[in-house]
Structure 1
Amino acid sequence: MAPHDGSGGNRPQGAAASLLNGLSVLEAFSHSTRTMLGVTEISAAVGLHKSTVSRMLTGLTEAGFVQRDAESGRYRLGFGVIGLAGPLLADLDVRRAALPLLEEMTKETFETSAIAVWNGTNAVVVEQIASPHQVKHSSSIGTRYDKFASSSVRIFLSDFSRAEVDQLITSGEIKREGYLGLDDPIHDHLDDVRRDGIAVNDGETTFEEYGTSAPVRDYRGKQVGCIIASAPRSRVQYRRSQDELESAVRRTASEVTVQLGGPVNES
Protein backbone atom coordinates (compact mmCIF):
# COMPACT_ATOMS: atom_id res chain seq x y z
CA MET A 1 0.00 0.00 0.00
CA ALA A 2 1.41 3.36 -0.99
CA PRO A 3 1.84 5.85 1.83
CA HIS A 4 -0.18 9.03 1.95
CA ASP A 5 1.75 11.77 3.66
CA GLY A 6 1.49 14.79 1.49
CA SER A 7 -1.06 17.12 0.04
CA GLY A 8 -2.01 17.77 -3.50
CA GLY A 9 -2.83 15.52 -6.41
CA ASN A 10 -5.53 12.96 -5.84
CA ARG A 11 -4.24 11.81 -2.46
CA PRO A 12 -6.90 11.34 0.23
CA GLN A 13 -7.00 13.95 2.93
CA GLY A 14 -8.06 14.05 6.57
CA ALA A 15 -9.42 10.88 8.14
CA ALA A 16 -9.00 8.84 4.95
CA ALA A 17 -5.32 9.74 4.76
CA SER A 18 -4.81 8.88 8.43
CA LEU A 19 -6.46 5.49 7.92
CA LEU A 20 -4.28 4.68 4.91
CA ASN A 21 -1.18 5.83 6.76
CA GLY A 22 -2.03 3.55 9.66
CA LEU A 23 -2.53 0.61 7.32
CA SER A 24 0.79 1.38 5.63
CA VAL A 25 2.51 1.25 9.02
CA LEU A 26 0.91 -2.13 9.77
CA GLU A 27 1.92 -3.46 6.36
CA ALA A 28 5.54 -2.56 7.07
CA PHE A 29 5.65 -5.43 9.54
CA SER A 30 4.36 -7.94 7.01
CA HIS A 31 7.04 -6.94 4.51
CA SER A 32 9.91 -7.14 6.99
CA THR A 33 11.97 -10.20 7.90
CA ARG A 34 12.17 -8.84 11.46
CA THR A 35 9.32 -9.09 13.93
CA MET A 36 10.23 -5.82 15.66
CA LEU A 37 10.76 -2.49 13.93
CA GLY A 38 11.73 0.99 15.04
CA VAL A 39 10.19 4.30 13.98
CA THR A 40 13.09 5.10 11.64
CA GLU A 41 12.87 1.71 9.91
CA ILE A 42 9.12 2.01 9.41
CA SER A 43 9.49 5.57 8.15
CA ALA A 44 11.98 4.44 5.52
CA ALA A 45 9.87 1.44 4.53
CA VAL A 46 6.61 3.31 3.97
CA GLY A 47 7.87 6.75 2.95
CA LEU A 48 6.22 8.64 5.80
CA HIS A 49 7.80 11.27 8.03
CA LYS A 50 9.00 9.90 11.36
CA SER A 51 6.61 12.21 13.20
CA THR A 52 3.70 10.76 11.24
CA VAL A 53 4.85 7.20 11.88
CA SER A 54 5.27 7.93 15.58
CA ARG A 55 1.75 9.37 15.74
CA MET A 56 0.31 6.37 13.90
CA LEU A 57 2.13 3.95 16.20
CA THR A 58 0.76 5.70 19.28
CA GLY A 59 -2.79 5.24 18.05
CA LEU A 60 -2.20 1.66 16.90
CA THR A 61 -0.67 0.80 20.27
CA GLU A 62 -3.66 2.20 22.12
CA ALA A 63 -5.94 0.12 19.89
CA GLY A 64 -3.89 -3.02 20.52
CA PHE A 65 -2.77 -3.49 16.91
CA VAL A 66 0.91 -3.03 17.77
CA GLN A 67 2.93 -3.44 20.95
CA ARG A 68 5.91 -1.40 22.06
CA ASP A 69 8.88 -3.24 23.55
CA ALA A 70 9.82 -1.35 26.70
CA GLU A 71 13.54 -2.19 26.50
CA SER A 72 14.28 -1.47 22.84
CA GLY A 73 11.51 1.01 22.05
CA ARG A 74 10.73 -0.98 18.92
CA TYR A 75 7.32 -2.22 17.88
CA ARG A 76 5.77 -5.55 16.95
CA LEU A 77 2.31 -6.53 15.74
CA GLY A 78 -0.24 -6.94 18.52
CA PHE A 79 -3.02 -9.43 18.98
CA GLY A 80 -5.59 -6.74 18.22
CA VAL A 81 -5.20 -7.76 14.59
CA ILE A 82 -6.76 -11.13 15.45
CA GLY A 83 -10.18 -9.53 15.40
CA LEU A 84 -9.54 -8.38 11.81
CA ALA A 85 -7.37 -11.14 10.38
CA GLY A 86 -8.87 -14.61 10.26
CA PRO A 87 -5.81 -16.03 8.46
CA LEU A 88 -3.57 -14.93 11.34
CA LEU A 89 -5.76 -16.83 13.77
CA ALA A 90 -5.86 -19.89 11.53
CA ASP A 91 -2.07 -19.95 11.29
CA LEU A 92 -1.53 -19.78 15.05
CA ASP A 93 0.12 -23.11 15.87
CA VAL A 94 -1.04 -23.16 19.47
CA ARG A 95 -4.62 -22.48 18.42
CA ARG A 96 -4.56 -25.23 15.77
CA ALA A 97 -3.10 -27.72 18.22
CA ALA A 98 -5.62 -26.81 20.90
CA LEU A 99 -8.87 -26.75 18.92
CA PRO A 100 -9.68 -30.49 18.77
CA LEU A 101 -8.61 -30.93 22.39
CA LEU A 102 -10.82 -28.04 23.49
CA GLU A 103 -13.72 -29.74 21.72
CA GLU A 104 -12.99 -32.94 23.65
CA MET A 105 -12.76 -31.07 26.95
CA THR A 106 -16.12 -29.39 26.45
CA LYS A 107 -17.71 -32.72 25.53
CA GLU A 108 -16.29 -34.20 28.72
CA THR A 109 -17.04 -31.35 31.13
CA PHE A 110 -20.05 -29.71 29.44
CA GLU A 111 -18.41 -26.39 30.29
CA THR A 112 -16.78 -23.70 28.16
CA SER A 113 -13.20 -24.43 27.07
CA ALA A 114 -10.80 -21.83 25.69
CA ILE A 115 -7.17 -21.09 24.98
CA ALA A 116 -5.57 -17.70 25.53
CA VAL A 117 -2.19 -16.25 24.56
CA TRP A 118 -0.26 -13.33 26.07
CA ASN A 119 -0.07 -10.10 24.06
CA GLY A 120 2.46 -8.34 26.28
CA THR A 121 -0.01 -6.85 28.73
CA ASN A 122 -3.15 -9.02 28.62
CA ALA A 123 -4.34 -12.58 28.13
CA VAL A 124 -6.22 -12.80 24.81
CA VAL A 125 -8.72 -15.53 23.92
CA VAL A 126 -7.84 -17.00 20.50
CA GLU A 127 -10.18 -20.01 20.48
CA GLN A 128 -13.22 -21.13 22.43
CA ILE A 129 -15.71 -23.98 22.51
CA ALA A 130 -18.83 -22.84 24.34
CA SER A 131 -20.69 -24.97 26.86
CA PRO A 132 -23.83 -26.68 25.51
CA HIS A 133 -25.71 -25.52 28.61
CA GLN A 134 -28.14 -22.65 28.20
CA VAL A 135 -26.61 -20.97 31.25
CA LYS A 136 -22.86 -20.71 30.69
CA HIS A 137 -19.83 -18.48 30.87
CA SER A 138 -18.18 -17.67 27.55
CA SER A 139 -16.14 -14.91 25.91
CA SER A 140 -15.78 -14.00 22.27
CA ILE A 141 -12.52 -14.61 20.44
CA GLY A 142 -10.31 -11.57 20.91
CA THR A 143 -11.50 -10.92 24.47
CA ARG A 144 -8.68 -9.54 26.63
CA TYR A 145 -8.27 -10.28 30.32
CA ASP A 146 -6.41 -7.62 32.29
CA LYS A 147 -7.34 -8.41 35.91
CA PHE A 148 -5.01 -10.20 38.29
CA ALA A 149 -8.11 -12.03 39.52
CA SER A 150 -8.39 -13.81 36.15
CA SER A 151 -7.00 -17.33 36.29
CA SER A 152 -5.43 -16.94 32.83
CA VAL A 153 -3.63 -13.73 33.81
CA ARG A 154 -2.19 -15.37 36.92
CA ILE A 155 -0.95 -18.33 34.89
CA PHE A 156 0.96 -16.04 32.54
CA LEU A 157 2.29 -13.83 35.33
CA SER A 158 3.61 -16.87 37.18
CA ASP A 159 6.27 -17.19 34.45
CA PHE A 160 7.42 -13.58 34.78
CA SER A 161 10.07 -12.11 37.03
CA ARG A 162 8.98 -10.18 40.11
CA ALA A 163 10.11 -6.95 38.48
CA GLU A 164 8.03 -7.63 35.38
CA VAL A 165 4.95 -8.42 37.47
CA ASP A 166 5.44 -5.29 39.58
CA GLN A 167 5.77 -3.14 36.47
CA LEU A 168 2.55 -4.49 34.94
CA ILE A 169 0.61 -3.92 38.15
CA THR A 170 2.01 -0.50 39.08
CA SER A 171 1.47 0.74 35.51
CA GLY A 172 -2.17 -0.28 35.73
CA GLU A 173 -1.93 -2.57 32.71
CA ILE A 174 -2.85 -5.44 35.03
CA LYS A 175 -5.59 -4.42 37.44
CA ARG A 176 -5.53 -5.82 40.94
CA GLU A 177 -9.04 -4.85 42.04
CA GLY A 178 -11.41 -7.76 42.47
CA TYR A 179 -8.72 -10.14 43.70
CA LEU A 180 -10.10 -11.57 46.93
CA GLY A 181 -6.72 -12.46 48.39
CA LEU A 182 -5.68 -8.87 48.98
CA ASP A 183 -3.89 -9.91 52.17
CA ASP A 184 -2.07 -12.65 50.28
CA PRO A 185 1.12 -11.12 48.81
CA ILE A 186 0.95 -11.30 45.04
CA HIS A 187 4.36 -12.88 44.61
CA ASP A 188 3.65 -15.57 47.21
CA HIS A 189 0.45 -16.39 45.37
CA LEU A 190 2.23 -16.56 42.00
CA ASP A 191 4.84 -18.85 43.56
CA ASP A 192 1.99 -21.20 44.46
CA VAL A 193 0.56 -20.99 40.94
CA ARG A 194 3.99 -21.74 39.45
CA ARG A 195 4.47 -24.71 41.78
CA ASP A 196 0.97 -26.14 41.33
CA GLY A 197 0.67 -25.44 37.60
CA ILE A 198 -2.92 -24.27 38.03
CA ALA A 199 -4.78 -21.04 38.81
CA VAL A 200 -8.37 -20.71 39.99
CA ASN A 201 -10.77 -17.79 39.79
CA ASP A 202 -13.55 -18.60 42.24
CA GLY A 203 -15.92 -15.67 41.80
CA GLU A 204 -13.13 -13.09 41.90
CA THR A 205 -13.68 -11.40 38.54
CA THR A 206 -17.46 -11.73 38.70
CA PHE A 207 -19.35 -13.37 41.53
CA GLU A 208 -21.10 -15.84 39.21
CA GLU A 209 -17.99 -17.17 37.46
CA TYR A 210 -15.68 -20.06 38.25
CA GLY A 211 -12.60 -20.39 36.06
CA THR A 212 -9.45 -22.46 36.12
CA SER A 213 -6.35 -22.30 33.89
CA ALA A 214 -3.16 -24.28 33.22
CA PRO A 215 -0.12 -23.38 31.09
CA VAL A 216 0.73 -24.60 27.58
CA ARG A 217 4.42 -24.77 26.64
CA ASP A 218 6.26 -25.22 23.37
CA TYR A 219 9.38 -27.23 22.48
CA ARG A 220 11.56 -24.64 24.24
CA GLY A 221 9.58 -24.98 27.44
CA LYS A 222 8.31 -21.44 26.91
CA GLN A 223 4.75 -20.69 27.95
CA VAL A 224 2.86 -19.88 24.75
CA GLY A 225 -0.71 -20.10 25.99
CA CYS A 226 -3.04 -21.34 28.67
CA ILE A 227 -6.09 -23.58 28.70
CA ILE A 228 -9.15 -22.14 30.44
CA ALA A 229 -12.35 -23.75 31.65
CA SER A 230 -15.20 -21.45 32.68
CA ALA A 231 -18.47 -22.29 34.38
CA PRO A 232 -21.19 -20.74 36.52
CA ARG A 233 -20.19 -21.12 40.17
CA SER A 234 -23.55 -22.72 40.90
CA ARG A 235 -22.45 -25.79 38.91
CA VAL A 236 -19.09 -26.18 40.63
CA GLN A 237 -19.98 -25.55 44.25
CA TYR A 238 -18.61 -28.87 45.45
CA ARG A 239 -14.99 -29.94 45.69
CA ARG A 240 -15.53 -32.97 43.48
CA SER A 241 -16.82 -30.92 40.54
CA GLN A 242 -13.98 -28.42 41.00
CA ASP A 243 -11.42 -31.24 41.01
CA GLU A 244 -12.92 -32.75 37.86
CA LEU A 245 -12.75 -29.43 36.02
CA GLU A 246 -9.20 -28.82 37.22
CA SER A 247 -8.15 -32.30 36.12
CA ALA A 248 -9.60 -31.76 32.64
CA VAL A 249 -7.78 -28.44 32.28
CA ARG A 250 -4.46 -29.92 33.40
CA ARG A 251 -4.79 -32.85 31.03
CA THR A 252 -5.80 -30.70 28.06
CA ALA A 253 -2.94 -28.25 28.67
CA SER A 254 -0.52 -31.17 28.88
CA GLU A 255 -1.85 -32.68 25.64
CA VAL A 256 -1.55 -29.38 23.75
CA THR A 257 1.98 -29.00 25.14
CA VAL A 258 2.87 -32.45 23.79
CA GLN A 259 1.44 -31.46 20.38
CA LEU A 260 3.83 -28.50 20.38
CA GLY A 261 6.82 -30.65 21.36
CA GLY A 262 6.90 -29.29 24.88
CA PRO A 263 7.94 -31.06 28.08
CA VAL A 264 5.62 -33.74 29.41
CA ASN A 265 4.18 -33.00 32.84
CA GLU A 266 4.88 -36.07 34.92
CA SER A 267 2.71 -34.98 37.87
Structure 2
Amino acid sequence: MPQGIEKEVSVTEISRELDMPVQSVHRILASLSEHGFVSQNNKTKKYKLGLSIMKYGFLMWDSLRFRSIARPFMEELSRQTKETVYLASRENTEGVYIDNIDSPQLLKISEPIGLRLPLVIGASNRVILAYMAPSARESILNQIEWEVLPSLRPLTREYIGNDLEQIRKRGYAITSGEATEGTTGIAAPIFS
Protein backbone atom coordinates (compact mmCIF):
# COMPACT_ATOMS: atom_id res chain seq x y z
CA MET A 1 0.00 0.00 0.00
CA PRO A 2 1.40 3.45 -0.87
CA GLN A 3 2.63 5.50 2.06
CA GLY A 4 0.15 8.12 3.30
CA ILE A 5 -2.96 6.19 2.32
CA GLU A 6 -4.95 4.95 5.31
CA LYS A 7 -6.10 1.37 5.07
CA GLU A 8 -9.68 0.60 6.05
CA VAL A 9 -10.76 -2.93 6.89
CA SER A 10 -14.22 -4.48 7.15
CA VAL A 11 -15.50 -6.39 10.14
CA THR A 12 -15.65 -9.52 7.97
CA GLU A 13 -11.99 -9.14 6.95
CA ILE A 14 -10.94 -8.69 10.58
CA SER A 15 -13.08 -11.66 11.63
CA ARG A 16 -11.52 -13.88 8.97
CA GLU A 17 -7.95 -12.72 9.70
CA LEU A 18 -8.32 -13.29 13.47
CA ASP A 19 -10.47 -16.41 13.08
CA MET A 20 -13.05 -14.89 15.43
CA PRO A 21 -16.86 -14.71 15.21
CA VAL A 22 -18.14 -11.52 13.57
CA GLN A 23 -20.22 -10.67 16.67
CA SER A 24 -17.10 -10.78 18.88
CA VAL A 25 -15.20 -8.55 16.45
CA HIS A 26 -18.13 -6.08 16.47
CA ARG A 27 -18.04 -5.87 20.30
CA ILE A 28 -14.26 -5.40 20.39
CA LEU A 29 -14.36 -2.74 17.66
CA ALA A 30 -17.17 -0.89 19.48
CA SER A 31 -15.01 -0.75 22.62
CA LEU A 32 -11.88 0.30 20.68
CA SER A 33 -13.91 2.94 18.85
CA GLU A 34 -15.30 4.33 22.11
CA HIS A 35 -11.72 5.01 23.26
CA GLY A 36 -10.49 6.36 19.93
CA PHE A 37 -8.21 3.44 19.02
CA VAL A 38 -10.19 2.79 15.81
CA SER A 39 -12.66 4.84 13.83
CA GLN A 40 -15.37 3.78 11.45
CA ASN A 41 -16.02 5.30 8.03
CA ASN A 42 -19.75 6.05 8.05
CA LYS A 43 -20.07 5.50 4.29
CA THR A 44 -18.12 2.25 3.86
CA LYS A 45 -18.66 0.98 7.46
CA LYS A 46 -14.99 -0.08 7.43
CA TYR A 47 -12.54 0.58 10.25
CA LYS A 48 -9.12 2.20 10.43
CA LEU A 49 -6.72 3.06 13.23
CA GLY A 50 -7.82 6.00 15.37
CA LEU A 51 -5.83 8.97 16.62
CA SER A 52 -5.42 7.50 20.13
CA ILE A 53 -2.84 5.14 18.64
CA MET A 54 -0.77 8.16 17.63
CA LYS A 55 -1.17 9.73 21.08
CA TYR A 56 0.17 6.61 22.78
CA GLY A 57 2.89 6.29 20.18
CA PHE A 58 4.09 9.81 21.05
CA LEU A 59 3.97 8.95 24.77
CA MET A 60 6.13 5.89 24.08
CA TRP A 61 8.51 8.01 22.00
CA ASP A 62 8.83 10.47 24.92
CA SER A 63 9.55 7.55 27.24
CA LEU A 64 12.32 6.28 24.94
CA ARG A 65 13.79 9.78 24.71
CA PHE A 66 13.58 10.10 28.50
CA ARG A 67 15.53 6.83 28.84
CA SER A 68 18.25 7.86 26.38
CA ILE A 69 18.74 11.22 28.12
CA ALA A 70 18.81 9.65 31.60
CA ARG A 71 21.09 6.73 30.65
CA PRO A 72 24.51 8.49 30.93
CA PHE A 73 23.55 9.88 34.36
CA MET A 74 22.43 6.42 35.48
CA GLU A 75 25.71 4.90 34.29
CA GLU A 76 27.73 7.51 36.17
CA LEU A 77 25.69 7.01 39.35
CA SER A 78 26.14 3.24 39.14
CA ARG A 79 29.89 3.66 38.51
CA GLN A 80 30.25 5.90 41.57
CA THR A 81 28.05 3.86 43.93
CA LYS A 82 28.67 0.35 42.55
CA GLU A 83 24.93 -0.21 43.05
CA THR A 84 22.01 -0.97 40.73
CA VAL A 85 20.28 2.13 39.39
CA TYR A 86 16.67 2.16 38.18
CA LEU A 87 14.68 4.64 36.16
CA ALA A 88 10.98 4.62 37.03
CA SER A 89 8.06 6.34 35.41
CA ARG A 90 4.46 6.76 36.48
CA GLU A 91 1.61 4.98 34.73
CA ASN A 92 -1.73 5.76 36.36
CA THR A 93 -1.45 4.65 40.02
CA GLU A 94 1.73 2.62 39.56
CA GLY A 95 5.41 3.18 39.09
CA VAL A 96 7.07 1.16 36.33
CA TYR A 97 10.78 0.42 35.96
CA ILE A 98 11.64 1.52 32.42
CA ASP A 99 15.42 1.13 32.54
CA ASN A 100 18.22 -0.01 34.84
CA ILE A 101 21.98 -0.33 35.18
CA ASP A 102 22.97 -3.48 37.09
CA SER A 103 25.46 -3.27 39.91
CA PRO A 104 28.94 -4.59 39.02
CA GLN A 105 29.05 -6.40 42.39
CA LEU A 106 28.67 -10.18 42.55
CA LEU A 107 25.91 -10.00 45.17
CA LYS A 108 23.08 -7.85 43.85
CA ILE A 109 19.32 -7.65 43.55
CA SER A 110 18.01 -7.05 40.06
CA GLU A 111 14.34 -6.27 39.49
CA PRO A 112 12.96 -6.73 35.96
CA ILE A 113 12.28 -3.86 33.59
CA GLY A 114 8.52 -3.45 33.46
CA LEU A 115 8.04 -4.23 37.16
CA ARG A 116 4.94 -2.38 38.35
CA LEU A 117 4.21 -1.47 41.94
CA PRO A 118 1.75 0.94 43.56
CA LEU A 119 3.19 4.44 43.89
CA VAL A 120 3.36 4.09 47.69
CA ILE A 121 5.80 1.15 47.57
CA GLY A 122 9.53 1.76 47.14
CA ALA A 123 11.63 4.89 47.00
CA SER A 124 11.47 5.44 43.23
CA ASN A 125 7.68 5.26 43.24
CA ARG A 126 7.16 7.23 46.41
CA VAL A 127 9.32 10.12 45.20
CA ILE A 128 7.10 10.34 42.11
CA LEU A 129 4.01 10.42 44.34
CA ALA A 130 5.54 13.03 46.64
CA TYR A 131 5.98 15.55 43.84
CA MET A 132 2.64 15.04 42.10
CA ALA A 133 -0.01 17.75 42.25
CA PRO A 134 -1.75 17.53 45.66
CA SER A 135 -5.16 16.70 44.16
CA ALA A 136 -3.74 13.86 42.03
CA ARG A 137 -1.73 12.55 44.98
CA GLU A 138 -4.82 12.55 47.23
CA SER A 139 -6.86 10.80 44.57
CA ILE A 140 -4.29 8.00 44.36
CA LEU A 141 -4.01 7.68 48.15
CA ASN A 142 -7.81 7.46 48.41
CA GLN A 143 -7.89 4.54 45.93
CA ILE A 144 -5.41 2.35 47.82
CA GLU A 145 -6.67 -0.74 49.62
CA TRP A 146 -4.21 -0.52 52.51
CA GLU A 147 -5.03 -3.96 53.95
CA VAL A 148 -4.04 -5.82 50.75
CA LEU A 149 -1.14 -3.63 49.62
CA PRO A 150 1.66 -5.86 48.20
CA SER A 151 4.34 -4.40 50.47
CA LEU A 152 6.68 -6.56 52.54
CA ARG A 153 6.28 -4.04 55.37
CA PRO A 154 2.91 -2.84 56.66
CA LEU A 155 2.16 0.62 55.29
CA THR A 156 -0.59 2.97 56.47
CA ARG A 157 -2.07 6.11 55.01
CA GLU A 158 -0.74 8.09 57.98
CA TYR A 159 2.81 6.73 57.59
CA ILE A 160 2.84 7.41 53.83
CA GLY A 161 1.42 10.93 54.32
CA ASN A 162 4.20 11.78 56.80
CA ASP A 163 6.85 10.21 54.58
CA LEU A 164 5.69 12.16 51.52
CA GLU A 165 6.02 15.37 53.52
CA GLN A 166 9.58 14.40 54.56
CA ILE A 167 10.48 13.55 50.95
CA ARG A 168 9.39 17.00 49.77
CA LYS A 169 11.40 18.65 52.58
CA ARG A 170 14.67 16.80 51.95
CA GLY A 171 14.32 16.32 48.17
CA TYR A 172 14.70 12.52 48.00
CA ALA A 173 13.10 9.29 49.25
CA ILE A 174 14.56 6.43 51.29
CA THR A 175 12.78 3.12 51.85
CA SER A 176 13.87 -0.22 53.32
CA GLY A 177 12.54 -3.67 52.61
CA GLU A 178 9.22 -2.70 51.07
CA ALA A 179 9.50 -4.37 47.66
CA THR A 180 12.47 -6.68 48.21
CA GLU A 181 13.58 -7.98 51.61
CA GLY A 182 16.92 -6.71 52.88
CA THR A 183 17.24 -3.83 50.42
CA THR A 184 17.29 -0.07 50.77
CA GLY A 185 16.19 2.26 48.01
CA ILE A 186 17.15 5.90 47.59
CA ALA A 187 15.43 7.94 44.90
CA ALA A 188 15.40 11.49 43.61
CA PRO A 189 12.85 13.04 41.25
CA ILE A 190 13.54 14.15 37.68
CA PHE A 191 11.55 17.27 36.92
CA SER A 192 12.23 18.05 33.28
2:98 equivalent in structure 1: 126
Instruction: Give the 3-state SS of the residue equivalent to 1:195 in structure 2.
Output: helix
Relative to structure 1, is the Cα distance of residues 185 and 10 closer, same or farther in structure 2, using a 3 angstrom cutoff? closer
Counterpart among 190, 193, 209 of residue 167 in structure 2: 193
Gap runs ≥5 in structure 1: 26-36, 58-65, 67-74, 83-87, 219-267
- Answering whether residue 140 of structure 2 is matched by residue 140 of structure 1, we say no
Relative to structure 1, is the Cα distance of residues 149 and 10 closer, same or farther in structure 2, using a 3 angstrom cutoff? closer
Counterpart among 180, 184, 190 of residue 206 in structure 1: 180
1:39 equivalent in structure 2: 35
2:143 equivalent in structure 1: 171
* CA positional deviation for 1:200: 1.1
The answer as to whether partners of 2:120 and 2:160 remain within 8 angstroms in 1 is no
The answer as to whether partners of 2:100 and 2:113 remain within 8 angstroms in 1 is yes
Relative to structure 1, is the Cα distance of residues 38 and 147 closer, same or farther in structure 2, using a 3 angstrom cutoff? same
Relative to structure 1, is the Cα distance of residues 47 and 168 closer, same or farther in structure 2, using a 3 angstrom cutoff? farther
Superposition RMSD in Å: 4.1
Cα displacement string for residues 209-254 of structure 1 (whole angstroms, at most 9, x for unaligned residues): 2111100111xxxxxxxxxxxxxxxxxxxxxxxxxxxxxxxxxxxx
2:56 equivalent in structure 1: 77
Once residues 185 and 9 of structure 1 are traced to their aligned partners in structure 2, the CA distance between those partners, rounded to angstroms, is 51
Cα displacement string for residues 5-25 of structure 1 (whole angstroms, at most 9, x for unaligned residues): 52269942318x96xx88xx6
Which AA in structure 2 matches 1:96? S
Once residues 43 and 173 of structure 1 are traced to their aligned partners in structure 2, the CA distance between those partners, rounded to angstroms, is 37
Gap runs ≥5 in structure 2: 1-5
- Answering whether residue 12 of structure 2 is matched by residue 7 of structure 1, we say yes
Q: How does 1:23-62 map to 2 (within 5 A)?
A: 39=35, 42-44=38-40, 47-48=46-47
The answer as to whether partners of 2:11 and 2:46 remain within 8 angstroms in 1 is no
The answer as to whether partners of 1:147 and 1:205 remain within 8 angstroms in 2 is no
The answer as to whether partners of 1:147 and 1:153 remain within 8 angstroms in 2 is yes
Cα displacement string for residues 160-213 of structure 1 (whole angstroms, at most 9, x for unaligned residues): 244423332343499745354537443232111112111112112232221111
For these two proteins, the number of residue pairs brought into alignment is 173
Relative to structure 1, is the Cα distance of residues 78 and 124 closer, same or farther in structure 2, using a 3 angstrom cutoff? farther
Moved more, 201-210 or 160-169: 160-169
The answer as to whether partners of 2:8 and 2:47 remain within 8 angstroms in 1 is yes
The answer as to whether partners of 1:78 and 1:119 remain within 8 angstroms in 2 is no
Identity, in percent, stands at 23
The answer as to whether partners of 2:67 and 2:98 remain within 8 angstroms in 1 is yes
Instruction: Give the 3-state SS of the residue equivalent to 2:164 in structure 1.
Output: helix
2:3 equivalent in structure 1: none
Instruction: Give the 3-state SS of the residue equivalent to 2:181 in structure 1.
Output: coil
- Which protein has greater RCO, CA pairs closer than 8 Å, 6+ apart? 1
The answer as to whether partners of 2:93 and 2:119 remain within 8 angstroms in 1 is no
TM-score, normalisation: structure 2: 0.68
* CA positional deviation for 1:77: 2.4
Rg larger for: 2
Relative to structure 1, is the Cα distance of residues 101 and 47 closer, same or farther in structure 2, using a 3 angstrom cutoff? same
